[in-house]
Structure 1
């Protein structure tokens, strides 16, 4: 049996647009502030999530030693980690949909 038929390439699977973070106005969880756009290759989404997590790691190291800039660094950490979470959530959902469809 051909290996390409057994397992789809990750680029054949795309983001589905369900990954999100940030609450909307008045803490409305039904309309998030940010959402992953559907249609991007999963490999790109995973790569970008990795870049964001690396930035979060570096910023968290810096935040532990910074007294004056701590709040600013923690805000950046919060948003970057939320973006990474949204990408991971979307990748997971896309892969689950793909596996159920097969």
Structure 2
């Protein structure tokens, strides 16, 4: 069973402050369409999450490729060993072996 290496959890898309902070300055931002502002914030959050998922998938596939390359190298070494043993087994003649008394 594989060990958990990365945990991916969903984040809230719209749980952030939309309006600028009221820091006492006289400059306030006017918003023409509040719904458009909320939709844009949600869209940016969704794009941020998709980017994060793509990054996780990239690292996951890189790790998988590294592990599969290691398995391939071990399999090639095993195949080489099996070929040499097959040659020795075919060349073996049990009638020529001396039996101890």
Q: TM-score scaled to structure 2, two decimals?
A: 0.42
Q: Which has the higher contact order (CA 8 A, sep 6+)?
A: 1
Name the structure with the higher helix share.
Answer: 1
Q: TM-score scaled to structure 1, two decimals?
A: 0.42
Larger radius of gyration: 2
